[in-house]
Amino acid sequence: MPARGRSLSSSICLLLVLALFSSTALSAPPHSEENASRSHSKHNLVYWITPSIFVALLVFLILLCGDKEPEKLPGDDIEFGAVNLHNSGKKTQINDPGKGPAENNTNGTGTGQFTTMTQLNGNITKTVVQPMKENEKLRAVILKNKLELNYKDLQKVVEIGHGAMGVVFKATFKGQVVAVKEFDSGCDAKDLNREIGILADMPHHPNIVTLIGASLDPPALVTEFVERGSLHEVIQKHPEELTPDRAVVILYDVARGMDFLHHHNIMQRDLKSGNILVTEDWHAKITDFGISRPMDDAKVTVLVGTGRWMAPEVHDGKDTYTAKADVYSYAVLMWEAYSKRMPFEEYKFDIKVAEFVLKGGRPPIDKMQNPQAWLVELMAKCWAQNPDDRPDFRLVVQEFEKYLELAPTPAPVVSAK
């Protein structure tokens, strides 16, 4: 029974008890003059108190049964385009059958209205609201950076990948070959908003994938097309082509790209072979910034990323961690590039990987193929258990340039906005 119903029932029972008490008290006969005197006083007392109680309870019942909105409880925030069942954790997309796909889009990228349902104090309420705030932010970012493009101008060629957030296509856009990351309708608009915002604000860098534009309806991100796909694909499909000389160039490129990101206050938070694109001439570009965050966030979400590349402090479930978590992920990537194996392949589940890593376990160095001694030493520093013992990416870049006898790369300069 809802709380309001229980309160109403309790009040009615209390009224009945008081009524019974007052009728008994008023009707009891006196047995003597003394009793009669006491009875008379008692009668007067009950006579005045009982109606007062009845009036007070009547006012309480009127207020209780009125149309007052129930008090909003913590955690009962309305969620756009979803059913939020309080204390159940269940969310279900609500579509209006009278609207088209774009209007029913619950990720904030459509143009119609949204149906909102939420449970407050046990009562489900339904509200129709205008397009989501995230959609407005996304549109503002796209328009500010002149990134809006017409989805109809994209000519899809072939699907080249898919994941939890959507599908990636190879396509052409006004004669240019591009990659189109098309987001699923159930994907949170914040992911697209964040990725576009980071890439739009980022100056061009040869080791960061280049953003070309974005579509709002349907939600899609358009970037440069990188010929060989991800490093993960190269390892899985053409491992013999990834020679030590090519691997070291790719790792150097990734270090430069990460140094650039960190100098621009961005934590990648999902650095792995699947998010490193390999060009035709065997250089690397970092991609996928959907879960990236500014490094000065007061609180970074825990357990974000991919388990086999996660740093110990992330596995440990700490509320905050630093950009050194990216450095750990980079060390696992180094091992992966030289072993051409899945990290921690002996474990089927990520929870077992977490237990092993938290105890200081790391991938076996003897599985690496012809690694240089300096690179193994650098890798060991990068995956140190204590984040403070890991170098930053500026030092990693300098180590590569020292041993490869390359001209030093100037430190990235953050231009004033």
Active site residue 270: yes
Q: Choosing from 191, 253, 270, 288, which is the catalytic residue?
A: 270
Q: What is the 3-state secondary structure (H, E, C) of the chain?
A: CCHHHHHHHHHHHHHHHHHHHHHHHHHCCCCCHHHHHHHHHHHHHHHHHHHHHHHHHHHHHHHHCCCCCCCCCCCCCCCCCEEECCCCCCCCECCCCCCCHHHHCCCCCCCCCEEEEEEECCEEEEEEECCCHHHHHHHHHHHHCCCECCHHHEEEEEEEEECCCEEEEEEEECCEEEEEEEECCCCCHHHHHHHHHHHHHCCCCCCECCEEEEECCCCEEEEECCCCCEHHHHHHHCHHHCCHHHHHHHHHHHHHHHHHHHHCCEECCCCCHHHEEECCCCCEEECCCCCCEECCCCCCCCCCCCHHHCCHHHHCCCCCCCCHHHHHHHHHHHHHHHHCCCCCCCCCCHHHHHHHHHCCCCCCHHHCCCCCHHHHHHHHHHCCCCHHHCCCHHHHHHHHHHHHCCCCCCCCCCCCC
* Cα(139)–Cα(147) distance, integer angstroms: 10
Active site residues: 270
